[in-house]
Structure 1
Amino acid sequence: MSVRIILLRHGESLGNIDELAYCRIPDHALPLTPRGEAQASAEGTRLRELLTGRPVAAYISPYVRTMRTFELLGLPVERRVQEPRLREQDWGNLQDPVEQQVQKQKRHEFGHFFYRLAHGESGADVDDRVASFLTELEARVEHDPSHPDTALVVSHGLTMRLLCRRMFSWSIELFESLSNPPHCDHRVLTHEDGRWALDRPFAQWRESPDGTTQL
């Protein structure tokens, strides 16, 4: 049996063009921009061609920008699940713009995986929860005959990279060398003959220090 997981990043949100938006709007409530809405609608056309009518189960981060992205895709799905484990990394309280910049600088200096944001999460914390999601999803596909063989996961850039890191056992060094995919860009994970494959790699801003690669 062939199983597919389609990972999709949300469209452009207000926080992507105005960092001070985090000082007045909670991260989970940030809306899509008009450009983000157009990106989601266009991606819906591409995904319909990819899915070719196959049944789909959708698992969606319960943030406003991810839920709205899914709605604008216009895809018929057999299951639609709000999945908190797919949410963005929790950045804690970002109401103070000075502290926001301090946290970003510390995260850059100490590494995106291990540095825990004040009152928030580290990348390692997100890694743990996406691992739990993947384990549960694989069990559902294997043991529930009514579950579609294709799952659409609408989430966030870092979450997508960590889902792949867990799936393919990538090193921490490799993960920290990867760039987020563009808004409304997707990756397809396919399981055949006992192994998972990634349709195309993520862009890298540097080579991994340990010499490992994605494929």
Structure 2
Amino acid sequence: MRIILLRHGQSLGNVDELAYCRIPDHALPLTETGERQARAAGSRVRGLLGGNPVAVYVSPYTRTRNTLRLLDLGAQAERTTAEPRLREQDWGNLQDPVQQEVLKQQRHAFGHFFFRLPNGESGADVDDRLAAFLVDLEARMREPGHPADVLVVSHGLTIRLLCRRLFGWSIELFESLSNLDTCEDRVLTDDGGGWRLDRPFEQWRDSPDGEVQGPLG
């Protein structure tokens, strides 16, 4: 069994933070660069699949759904599920730019996992909903007729937390990792002996508790 994790293409919010002040997070569109990234990622994902069918689970945000559309998987996508538990961390409705800058500084000092955004979520909240999603996903992947390959199209922090939960990584290690770049992927494989990650996430520092990413391979 395999799970391909793909971050969405570059969105307006990635290049213009003030976009969050006038457009709901869930409605932010891809940029032209993001659309090109998604088309290029489509060739890469189709190569990984090698003609095999895939079950797709996608965040319902505009930028993730449009990324999926531009992958152009065609009939290979045997089933597609819009999964709200794969959405980005909720920062709370339209954002005030001054307040958001203060919150980002507080979040960095407090820790991304436990800091709860006013009217929004903490990383721990996202982790909780991903735990429930993974239980459902692993059960579905064992159902007769479910494709052995799964594609998850989601968001940077969400993908990091999904791996943290799946591999049991420490919170300290999670907070030491960087998000994937837009339209970057990771592949998780389970050959019967447990899940393995094809390559590590970039780290901006060593984990304070000494934990390292894994298992890899």
> Considering the TM-score relative to the shorter chain, is it more than 0.5?
yes
Task: Quote the Cα distance in structure 1 between the aligned partners of 2:94 and 2:66.
Answer: 23
Residue 103 (structure 1) aligned with residue 103 (structure 2): yes
What is the one-letter code of the residue matched to 1:178?
A: L
Q: CA RMSD in A?
A: 0.7
Structure 1 unmatched ranges of 5 or more: none
Instruction: Please state whether the residue corresponding to 2:55 is helix, strand or coil.
Output: strand
1:208 — aligned with what? Answer: 207
What is the one-letter code of the residue matched to 2:174?
A: F
2:195 — aligned with what? Answer: 196
Aligned residues of 2:126 and 2:161 also touching (Cα < 8 A): yes
Instruction: Please state whether the residue corresponding to 2:196 is helix, strand or coil.
Output: strand
Q: CA deviation at 1:94?
A: 4.1
1:122 — aligned with what? Answer: 122
Aligned residues of 2:39 and 2:71 also touching (Cα < 8 A): yes
Structure 2 unmatched ranges of 5 or more: none
Aligned residues of 2:189 and 2:197 also touching (Cα < 8 A): yes
Q: CA deviation at 1:193?
A: 2.6
What is the one-letter code of the residue matched to 1:28?
A: H
1:166 — aligned with what? Answer: 165
Aligned residues of 1:94 and 1:100 also touching (Cα < 8 A): no
1:51 — aligned with what? Answer: 49
Q: After the TM superposition, which residues 75-154 of structure 1 pair with which residues of structure 2 at under 5 Å, given as runs? A: 75-76=73-74, 77-142=77-142, 144-154=143-153
1:179 — aligned with what? Answer: 178
Over the matched positions of the two proteins, sequence identity in percent amounts to 70
1:25 — aligned with what? Answer: 23
Task: Quote the Cα distance in structure 2 between the aligned partners of 1:186 and 1:133.
Answer: 19
Task: Quote the Cα distance in structure 2 between the aligned partners of 1:111 and 1:175.
Answer: 10
Task: Quote the Cα distance in structure 1 between the aligned partners of 2:56 and 2:93.
Answer: 30
Q: Which runs of 4+ in 1 moved over 3 A?
A: none
Task: Quote the Cα distance in structure 1 between the aligned partners of 2:91 and 2:189.
Answer: 31
Instruction: Please state whether the residue corresponding to 2:144 is helix, strand or coil.
Output: coil
TM score, norm. by length of structure 2: 0.96
Q: CA deviation at 1:81?
A: 0.4
- Count matched residues: 212
TM score, norm. by length of structure 1: 0.97
Instruction: Please state whether the residue corresponding to 1:37 is helix, strand or coil.
Output: helix
Aligned residues of 2:23 and 2:94 also touching (Cα < 8 A): no
Task: Quote the Cα distance in structure 2 between the aligned partners of 1:155 and 1:134.
Answer: 14
